[in-house]
Amino acid sequence: MKKIYLLVITALVLVSCGGENKKNSMENVLSSNNLELLRQKRAEVVAEQHEANEKLKQLDAVISKLDTVKKVPLITTITAKQEAFNHYFEVQGNVTTKDLLVITPEYNGILTNVYVKEGQKVTKGQVLAKIDDGGLGQQLSQLQIQADLAKTTYERQKRLWDQNIGSEIQFLQAKSNYEAQQKAVDQIKQQVAKTTVRAPFSGTIDDVITEQGSVVAAGQSPLMRIVNLSNMYIETEVPERYIKDVTVGKHVDVEFPVLGKTVESNVRQAGDFINAANRTFKVEIGLPKGDNTIKPNLTAKLKINDYTNENAILIPQSVISENAEGEQYIYVVEDKNDKEEGVAKKVIIKTGKTQGDVIEVLSGIKKGAEIIKEGARSVKDEQTVKVININKDSIN
């Protein structure tokens, strides 16, 4: 009888426990809508999670001691070196020359003769064209005759006066008449000279604009265009923020997209005046002589050197990351052993100017630091890494 009673009690306990477990199952708790029961269940799950994490840590610690073949990230590195860094900014400019001029007449009249053709080379002072003088030549001849007579009279009166013969008034009248006639001749000669068009400098006649026989007006009618390509330069406008950096002698790379040509030059003149309309100042870039493919008004792309650091540390921009505070950082390898294994260390850096794919590092790393390149985005601070294919060349 006692045995039967014991069996019944045991069965009741088992049924009660099973019912309690079923009652506390996850499905029942979630569907119960009982806030207190839900909080109790969550506390149980958190406790189980903490217990599992502790067990995982203990297992990992033992495995790391026993595992002789460790799986570590493979990375490549570059060595920080000090090298010259030249920064350039780009602007656009136009080719021009001071020896480019459209010649206009100094005298009104008919263009009677044109002595040159397009493409003809001329020298300074060479006669290019002739304008009808409108009778000035005849006036000059008449005045010259009168001036010659006045000169003869003056010379005779002077000889007599030197011998104390004649009156002083006669001598002075002869002298005054001669000087007046000579000034009149010189004035007409100046007028006649304006009827002859001469080359103001040596160069090439690029275009004959006005044909022979046309009526021309002084200072208004364009006769021809003359150009000299031996003294060309590029003129550009540079923003005012570069006024301290762009000085005479700074290096410039000049590219002519139309010609597919690039030449090296220097700043030959930097303006001191800021244009209030666009906040720029003018800069002149010299061009090599003898290249006849470069023409006035040709467009050029200019890369002007505005900053140079002879001992800069340069790194690829691709290895730089940024944290939530806006700080830039990279990873370097420290404590490297003979198996090329080391520890990745996060380093906060300050950067300067960029040029192409590289950037200047102002602080944070020193010469000789081994910087993680390939794999820089995947490693973590204090993580063990293995270095392969070390590139110790400078970064360009």
Helices vs. strands in the chain: H and E counts, helices first: 5, 22
Of 162-166, 282-286, 303-307, least confident by mean pLDDT is 162-166
Average pLDDT over the chain reads: 84
pLDDT in the model for residue 24: 63
pLDDT in the model for residue 269: 93
pLDDT in the model for residue 394: 44
State the virtual CA torsion across 12, 17, 22, 25 in degrees, nearest 10: 170
**How does pLDDT run across 301-346, given as a tens digit for each residue?**
999 999 999 999 998 888 998 888 889 999 998 888 888 888 889 9
* pLDDT of residue 139 exceeding 90: no
Convert 217-247 to b/e letters by CB count within 10 Å (16 or more is b).
eeeebebbbbbbbeebbbebbbeeebbebbe
**How does pLDDT run across 354-370, given as a tens digit for each residue?**
888 889 999 988 888 88
pLDDT band at residue 66 under the 50/70/90 scheme: low
pLDDT in the model for residue 392: 47
Are 329 and 347 in contact, with CB atoms under 8 Å apart? yes
pLDDT band at residue 5 under the 50/70/90 scheme: very low
pLDDT band at residue 67 under the 50/70/90 scheme: low
pLDDT band at residue 65 under the 50/70/90 scheme: low
Which residue has 């068009």 as its token pair?
197
Q: Which residues contact 2 (CB under 8 A, 6 or more apart)?
A: none
* pLDDT, mean of residues 347-351: 92
For residue 313, what is the enclosing H or E element? strand 299-316
* pLDDT of residue 161 exceeding 90: no
* pLDDT, mean of residues 367-383: 86
Are 283 and 238 in contact, with CB atoms under 8 Å apart? yes
Q: State phi, psi for 88 to the nearest 5 degrees.
A: -125, 150
pLDDT in the model for residue 70: 57
**How does pLDDT run across 224-279, given as a tens digit for each residue?**
999 988 888 999 999 999 999 999 999 999 999 999 999 999 999 999 899 999 99
Three-state SS at 284: strand
